[in-house]
Amino acid sequence: MSSIPALSALRRLRPDRLKELSLVALIALAVIIFGLVVDGYYSGRFFNRVTTSAVIVVILAAAQALVVISRNVDLSVGSTVGVAAYLTADFLQNNSGAHPLIAVLIAVAVGAALGSINGLLVAYGGVPAIIVTLGTLALFRTLVSLYSDGANVTADSLPDWVIELNGSTIVSAGGFDLRTTFAVAIVVILGLQWLLARMRWGRRLYAIGSNPDAAAQAGIPARRLTMWSFVGSGALAGLAGFMFMVRVGTVSATAGSGLELQSVAAAVVGGVSILGGTGTVLGAFLGAILIDTLRLSLVRVPQVSEFWRDAVLGVLVLISVITDSVLTRRLSRRAGSAGVGNRMEASTQAVEPTASTAPSPITTPVGLATREESIDV
C-alpha cells in the first residue's frame, strides 16, 4: 500500500518527464545487469568510452528532435556533418593559428547555412521534408566531395589542439573523466532542452507538431518556425561535424555517412514521436546514450559476439515504438470514452476512435505546413 503515493506522484508527471525517467531507469538497469555479467565493467575506461563515442550521435539526436517535434524529419544531418567537418578541417589546415572558437563558429555556420536550404524548401517551397532532405543528403555530400577533390585532411595537418581536445578532460575522478567534448554536448542538450521548454517558439514547435490545424487557427507562424527548426538542426549538425573532426582526426569526404538514420533511431528510442508533438531533447539524448551503452556493453559480454549489437538495437527501437504507441492510445482512449454517459458520443467519434488519432503513416511524419494550409473552404 505504501507504493500508492509514489504511483500517484508518477501519474502526475508529464508524459515527457515520465519517458525521460524511464530511459534513465533503463540505462541504470542495463548498467547493473552488464555489471553482473562482465568483470571489471564498472571502470572509468568504459564510462569514458561511452561518453566519447556517443558525443556525435547525441548532438545529432537533438538536431533530429528539433525537426521531428514539428512533424518533419532531417535525413541530411549525416551529410551536413561531413561538409562541416571537412570545411572546418580544411580551414584549420590552412590557418593553424586560428582560435578554436573560430573553428567551432565556422562549423556551426556552415551547418546553419545548409539547414536554411532545407528549411526554405520545406517551409516555403512546399516540398515534403523527407524528399527535401533525401535530396540534400546526396547534394551536400556531393558538395564536400567536389570541394575536397578526393583529398583527405589528415590528423597531422591539423593544429595540435584538435588532437588534444579529443582527450582533454574537465574533471576526472577515479578514472572517470568528464571529457570536454561530452561536457559541451551536455551543455548544448540542456540549453536546447531549456529553450524548447521555455521559449515561446519552442512551445509553438510542439503545437505545430501536435495539431497543425489548431496551430493555424491560433495564428502560429508555422512556416517561419519550420524554417528556423531546420536552421537549428543544421547548426547542431555543424557542431557535430566539429566534434567529428576532433574525434576522428582524419576527415574524408565521406565523413558522417549513415549518421542520419542513427540519429532518427536515437530520437525515436528517446521518445520523440515521429508523428510530431511529443518528446524532448533530453529524451533524445538519453536515447542516444542508451543505444551506445548497449552497443558498447554487448561487446564486453563474453558470450555475445559484438555482432549482436545491431540486432539488439533493432529490437529495442521496435519495442520503444510499440510501448509509446500503446501508451498514447491508452491516453486518447481515456479522452474518447470518458464522455459517454447516458448520452451518446457523436457518431463520427463512435465510428473509429483511432481514425483521428492515428494519421496515415507516411503523410504525417513528412506532413508540413503547406499541406495543412490547403484547407478547403
Partner 1 sequence: MNPGPEPVLELRLVSKRFGATQALADVELILYRSEVHALVGENGAGKSTLIKIATGIYEPDTGTMELGGHVFDPGDPASAQRQGVAAIYQEPSIFPDLSVAENIFIGHQDRGLLVDRKRMEQDAAEVLQRLDIDLDPSQPAGALTVAGQQAVEIAKAISLDVKVLIMDEPTAALSAHEVDRLFRQVRRLKQLGVAVLFISHRLDEVFEIADRVSVFRDGRHISSRPITDVTEELMVREMVGRDPSEFFIRTPQEPGQVVLSVEDLARHGVFRDVSFDVRAGEVLGFAGLVGAGRTDVALALFGVAPADGGTITIDGQPVTIGSPTDALNHGIAYLSEDRRKLGLSMTQSVTTNITLATLDRYTLSFGLIDHEAENRDAAGLRDRLGIRTASLDTPVDNLSGGNQQKAMLAKWLNAEPRVLILDEPTRGIDVGAKAEVHRFIDELARSGMAIIMISSDLPEVLAMSDRIAIMREGSLQGIRTRDDADQESVMAMAVGVA
Partner 2 sequence: MSEWARSHRWEVVLGGVLVITIVANAILSPYYLGLDNIVNLFWLSIEKIIVAVIMAFVIINGEIDLSVASVMGFSAAVLATLHESTGLPFVAAILIALAAGALAGLIQGLVVVKLQLPSLVVTLAGLIGFRGAARVLLEDRSVGEFPEWFDRLGQRALLGPFPLAVIVFGVALAIAWFVLDRTAFGRKVYVIGSSAEVSRYSGVDVDGVKIRLFVMSGLTAGFAGVLFAARLGSVRGSLAEFFELDIITMVLLGGVSIFGGSGTMLGVALAIFTVLNIRNGLGLANVDGIIQTGTVGLLLIGSVLVPNLASHIRSRLPFGGPPLSTADT
Binding site for partner 1 (CB under 8 A): 12, 14-15, 197-204, 206-207, 209-211, 213-220, 277-278, 331-332, 334-352, 357, 377
Least gap, CB of 13 to partner 1 (angstroms):
9
Q: For cell 520503444, what's the residue?
A: 320
Q: Which of 25, 322, 335, 340 binds partner 2 (CB under 8 A)?
A: 322
Region binding partner 2 by CB under 8 A among candidate stretches 85-93, 107-115, 134-142, 280-288:
134-142
Least gap, CB of 276 to partner 1 (angstroms):
8
Which residue lies nearer to partner 2 by CB, 204 or 295? 295
Q: Does 318 bind partner 2 (CB under 8 A)?
A: yes
- φ, ψ for residue 273, nearest 5 deg: -75, 135
d(CA 374, CA 105): 39
361 binds, among partner 1, partner 2, none (CB under 5 to 8 A by kind): partner 2
342 binds, among partner 2, partner 1, none (CB under 5 to 8 A by kind): partner 1
Q: Does 75 bind partner 2 (CB under 8 A)?
A: yes
Q: For cell 564536400, what's the residue?
A: 144
Which residue lies nearer to partner 2 by CB, 199 or 322? 322
Which residue lies nearer to partner 1 by CB, 146 or 218? 218
321 binds, among partner 1, partner 2, none (CB under 5 to 8 A by kind): partner 2
199 binds, among partner 1, partner 2, none (CB under 5 to 8 A by kind): partner 1
Q: For cell 531507469, what's the residue?
A: 25
Q: Does 365 bind partner 2 (CB under 8 A)?
A: yes
Q: Which of 38, 105, 139, 186 binds partner 2 (CB under 8 A)?
A: 139
Q: How far is CA 129 from CA 47, 126, 369, in A?
A: 36, 9, 10
Region binding partner 2 by CB under 8 A among candidate stretches 2-10, 85-93, 339-347, 348-356:
348-356
d(CA 48, CA 38): 17
Q: Which three cell numbers stand for residue 334?
A: 481515456
Least gap, CB of 8 to partner 1 (angstroms):
12
Which residue lies nearer to partner 1 by CB, 54 or 207? 207
Question: What is the distance of C-alpha 32 from the center of its chain?
Answer: 26
Region binding partner 2 by CB under 8 A among candidate stretches 29-37, 88-96, 137-145, 220-228:
137-145
Element (H, E) at 109: helix 100-119
d(CA 55, CA 48): 11
d(CA 272, CA 339): 29
Least gap, CB of 280 to partner 2 (angstroms):
18
Dihedral of CA 187/236/268/312: which sign? negative
The set of residues, in sequence order, having a beta carbon less than 8 Å from that of 26 and lying 6+ positions away, is: 290
Q: For cell 510499440, what's the residue?
A: 322
Q: Which of 137, 227, 236, 288 binds partner 2 (CB under 8 A)?
A: 137
150 binds, among partner 2, partner 1, none (CB under 5 to 8 A by kind): partner 2
CB 119 within 8 A of CB 227: yes
Amino acid occupying residue 229: S
Buried residues in 104-126 as b, exposed as e (16+ CB within 10 A): bebbbbbbbbbbbbbbbbbbeee
Q: Is 345 buried (19+), middle (13-18) or exposed (0-12) by CB count in 10 A?
A: middle
Ramachandran class of 131: left when φ > 0, alpha when ψ lies in -120 to 50, beta otherwise: alpha
Least gap, CB of 191 to partner 2 (angstroms):
28
* Binding positions for partner 2, rule: CB under 8 A: 75, 121, 125-128, 130-132, 134-139, 141-143, 145-146, 150, 253, 257-258, 261, 264-265, 268, 274-275, 305, 307-315, 317-318, 321-322, 325, 352, 354-355, 358, 360-366, 370, 374, 376-377
